[in-house]
Amino acid sequence: MRSAALWLVAMALPVLFAGSVRGDECLNKDGTPCPPCDPTDPNLLLPDLVAQTPTHVRNLVATGHRTIIFTTSIGNVGDGPLILHGHTVETDAGTKTQATQEIWKRDGTSCSRLAGYFVYHPAHHHFHIEDFSGYDLRKNDPFTGEIVASSNKVSFCLLDIAQLHGYNGPLQVQADCLNQEGTQGISVGFADVYDSFLPGQSIDLDADPAHPVPAGQYYLVNTANPDGVILQKNWSLENNSSVVSVSVPPPNRADLPLPTNTLPPGGSPPPTATPTSPLPTATPTSPPPPPPTRTPTSRPVRQPHGPHAPAGPPPQAHTPHVGGPHSPHSPH
């Protein structure tokens, strides 16, 4: 869980690792500012952002709206870390915090490029990179199907929360999400995880009351870097997305809970019987016999479990998963 204690640990751990990145600007080892990046330079050590399949997917009713909530994780399986520095700048829209992406090169130097903006998240109480992830609910096909509902693009405070299975490299980024001009990022072989209870980890199925999402089967699609603002090794909807099939219940009245057994599209509820008079109350003439005494038996102890992925080789080219939910690579 992305609790306050775990978040503080994640913020503090990188100071133990030599050679990691910290600071609000991109500087080479000789102290000179990093030059602009050439996206075609073959010496760039680019990150590669891949979304893990959403987990802990649940249907809820909140304030009369059907809502899908879920946990998401975005990992870096590229050649270099994702590093973002914040700088306060003046724009036509006022003062903003420009995000600059630092990219390592094979010769030991770095270059930089603009990559969106940092924004303060009032519910999380720290700074995020804008539009880092997108959540869509699609019909019929996970990549080309009609989008029937979506969330606003989600901003993240980028941290190394979970190490991907098969990777054992060091942390490369010292995140400082409390600082408006701090540094954020994801090291190679690590993932950032956002739990289902956090603001933004949901899709409102009744956002348009005139056109609520009909009951049926849909695809929940989690896409990392949906607008391609961050320069990465492989960018495509298929590479950057993960998919899970979800079942959407029918619309409900605002004052009723979500039914346990939902009806198929076009189905009719069973008739409800209304009693015309109260039922008589029977008065027992003698107390009932006591129930038989059962001797308790031992039961197996369920071992604690967390969002662990099955063992396997480190990911190479990312193939989106379509099907039931599975857990991310490592606990949050």
DSSP 53-79: PPEEEEEEEETTEEEEEEEEEEEE-SS
Contacts of 147 (CB under 8 A, 6+ apart): 136, 137, 138
Query: Hey, what's the torsion of the CAs at 96, 78, 72, 168, to 10 degrees?
Result: -120
pTM here? 0.68
CA distance 230 to 233: 10
Q: Number of helices and strands (H, E) in the chain?
A: 2, 16
* The predicted structure's pLDDT at residue 95: 85
* The predicted structure's pLDDT at residue 332: 39
* The predicted structure's pLDDT at residue 124: 65
User: Right CATH number for 4-23+42-82+131-248 from 3.10.450.50, 2.60.40.10, 2.40.30.40, 3.40.50.170?
Assistant: 2.60.40.10
Q: Which tokens hold the place of 16?
A: 């133990």
* The predicted structure's pLDDT at residue 123: 66
- Amino acid letter for position 218: Y
CA distance 41 to 43: 5
Contacts of 219 (CB under 8 A, 6+ apart): 137, 138, 139, 141, 142, 145, 243, 244, 245, 246, 322
Query: Hey, what's the torsion of the CAs at 132, 137, 139, 145, to 10 degrees?
Result: -10
Instruction: Parse the chain into domains and list their residue ranges.
Output: 4-23+42-82+131-248
* The predicted structure's pLDDT at residue 93: 82
In this prediction, the residues of the chain whose per-residue pLDDT falls under 50 are 1-23, 253-285, 288, 291-332
